[in-house]
Chains A and B, each alone.
Chain A
Amino acid sequence: MNQQEIARKKRVMHVGIWLILICVCVILYSLHTGSIRLSPYEVLRTLVGLGSEDDSLVLFEYRLPRIVITILAGMGLGISGAILQGLYRNSLADPGVLGLHAGAAFGLVVFVSFFRSLEGMISLVLPLFTFAGAVLVAVLIVLLAYDRHKGVLPIRLILVGIALAAGFSAITLFLSLRLDEGTYAFAARWLAGNVWGREWANVLALLPWIVLLVPYTWLQSKVLDALMLGDEVATGIGAPVQRKRFLLMGTAVALASVSVSMAGGVGFIGLAAPHLARRLVGPLHQYMLPIAGMIGVVILVAADTIGRSIFQPNAIPAGVVVAAVGAPYFLYLLAKTK
């Protein structure tokens, strides 16, 4: 192990520790936000099981499920964006911009038309539907953006994504018009990125996907590194390019769609998190992925908390807060890339 390697490891450790600290602070602050004010001390005391009965009810029944969902979804979106950017060597790739959210929304509306309810255990099936919708969009994107000679063309990928997003939103709107008003309002708020999951059942729907797919992605870091260098290099190293790419694309789509199934159509996290991560620890996925995940957590939890607390009595969907910050960042990147 050479000097450089050690220096980098040290840097990653530093960044990681700071990010974990920030995460913990944001989560604690979020846990403390709500109609009943619990001081940070009370939050901590309740978390270790020493709080009053009511405090535990507030924390474990009302606040924690929602926060766990934002944590998982933030992580999922951040890592999904990192995979997409790696796969397509395209720094502008983001699950929202690519239309995956619109596909997931399509799946959601189909789900609602079938089951007419989003309550309790039935919500466990919901991620499957959003996943199917997003897969549909992903397949269309790849088909339409693929060029026989040049592979998937980066800018065309984005263009096709934009158009598919518009198209699927139109179909979704069309379908949701046939639903009753309440469901329509729900779908509209969901599209704006409103974290609606409030129950442990919702957490349960999300958890297995994240727990399985995030470590899988991390184990594939080397493959992603190789793919970043180009298909020829990747083949040279011995990675079965097409199969790996297929699997990783599926992973990215799955992470994004299950995340938005519970957290609503929040865009731009998948764009910003990997960028910031690359800035902080360099392009190696082994280091960059966990950092991107943590940044995703910080952004989404912070956005949800801000949306809920600053604009009282009206809560602004987290997606709006993220877009207000994320879109300018996207434009900045767009202006900078050649």
Chain B
Amino acid sequence: MKKLMITAMSILSLLTVAACGQSAPQQSAPAQNAPAASAPATTKTPKSGADQKIASMSIHLTNNLLALGITPVGSVIGGDVKAFLPHVADRLKDTKPLGVVTDPDMEAVLALKPDVIYLDEAYSGKDVAKFEKIAPTHVFNLDEGTWRDTLKKTGALVKREAEAETFIADYEEQTKRVKGLIHDKLGDGAKVMAIRVTAKELRVFGMKRPMGPILFEDLGLQPANGVEKIDKAYAVISQEVLPDFDADAIFVVVNAGDEAKKVYDQLQANPLWQGLTAVKKNQIYIIGAQPWLDYSAIGNKMAMDEAEAFFKK
């Protein structure tokens, strides 16, 4: 009995000590994020335009904001890398990570006291009511139109329509250039495909976002045999049918993680791979998972930069 009491006492005191120790330094955290005196906790009147404090609950919406020159105060992080996506991480140094989109850290959102919250309907549509308790909320449907439409919509919300138009115009300009470069390199009627090597499986990207639109619409490339039938983001295939696609050029995304890299090394060592048309023509292009799989304004722009660099050589 006595032993038990002593144990209980010590647990109790430990808990109290731990509790006190941890609560002190955190108190000031929300205050730090308030940029001006104009945003104390009591005012919930939404400000308009670019000086709003925006919490973005979608990595793609975050990157659209960045394209317009606006840095959100908080954003969800990439589910795969468990951090901000590498290609934009340097622009989000002062942005508070809000957890992964499938399991957002609501407390962190609340602590930011944002003026407005941007959501992706596909992931957070069901939780709108929860977010609205924190701040006014805008829901985007990224499947409506292309990233251009989302960017324009965002531009209208933050009063930067002109920037959105310029960004899109620049992108179209660049696309035309890259299109020409690719044509010079691959020749007429070249068929391309994009694959992704993960630790467990081999995927072929289909006609839907993220990969389909940029390759087959923006760059106007011709899909390899069978790719046009994949009416979704990707399909899992067996290595055995890889030659059947008969692609002239292959874009390869290798997943992060040692196991995926090992799988790709083994794939390269395989005579089957070495027999592929694209390999024989030396037209294999290793592309980063980011920016290529980030279907946003910045993502597509940076992917286009990468493609330009490839085909300029």
- Contact residues of A with B, CB < 8 Å? 11, 14-15, 18, 21-22, 25-26, 28-29, 32, 34-40, 52, 54, 57-58, 61-62, 119-120, 182, 280, 313-314
Contact = CB atoms under 8 A, between A and B. Distances in A.
Nearest to A186: B102
Contacts of B1: 11, 14
Interface centre among B22, B41, B107, B108 (most CB of A within 10 A): B107
Contacts of A21: 8, 12
Interface string B126-137: 100010011000
B267 interface: no
Contact of B15 (A25, A57, A119): A25
A313 B23 CA distance: 17
Given A37-B23, A57-B134, 13 more contacts: A21-B8, A22-B11, A26-B15, A29-B18, A32-B22, A34-B107, A35-B107, A36-B26, A36-B30, A38-B23, A39-B20, A54-B110, A62-B107
Contacts of A15: 4
Nearest to A15: B4
A231 to B, nearest CB: 35
B8 A18 contact: yes
Interface residues of B, number: 31
Contacts of B30: 36
Contacts of B12: 21-22, 25
Contacts of A119: 126
Chain B binding surface, main DSSP class: helix
Interface of B: 1, 4-5, 8, 11-12, 15-16, 18-20, 22-23, 26-27, 29-30, 41, 82, 102, 105-108, 110-111, 113, 126, 130, 133-134
5 contacts: A25-B11, A25-B12, A32-B23, A57-B133, A57-B134
A35 B11 CA distance: 23
Nearest to A37: B26
A35 B23 CA distance: 11
A29 B126 contact: no
B27 A37 contact: yes
A198 to B, nearest CB: 9
B110 A120 contact: no
A25 B11 CA distance: 9
Contacts, number: 70
Contacts of A28: 15, 19
Contact of B19 (A29, A35, A54, A182): A29
Contacts of B82: 313-314
Interface centre among B11, B29, B30, B82 (most CB of A within 10 A): B11
Contacts of A314: 82
B119 to A, nearest CB: 15
A29 B15 contact: yes
Contact of B5 (A18, A29, A32, A38): A18
A54 B29 CA distance: 14
Nearest to B30: A36
Contacts of A14: 1
Contacts of B110: 36, 54, 57-58, 62
A182 B130 contact: no
B42 to A, nearest CB: 9
Contacts of B102: 182
Contacts of B19: 28-29, 32, 39-40
A157 B73 CA distance: 57
A232 B20 CA distance: 57
A36 to B, nearest CB: 5
Contact of A18 (B4, B29, B106, B107): B4
Given A11-B1, A22-B11, A22-B12, A58 B107 contact: yes
Contacts of A32: 19, 22-23
Contacts of A58: 107, 110
Nearest to B113: A54
B78 to A, nearest CB: 13
A228 to B, nearest CB: 24
A62 B12 CA distance: 25
Nearest to B107: A35
A124 to B, nearest CB: 16
A280 B7 CA distance: 13
Contacts of A54: 41, 110, 113
B101 to A, nearest CB: 11
A26 B111 CA distance: 24
A39 B278 CA distance: 62
A199 B41 CA distance: 25
Contacts of B113: 54
A35 B105 contact: yes
Contact of A37 (B5, B22, B126, B133): B22
A327 to B, nearest CB: 22
Nearest to B102: A182
B165 to A, nearest CB: 35
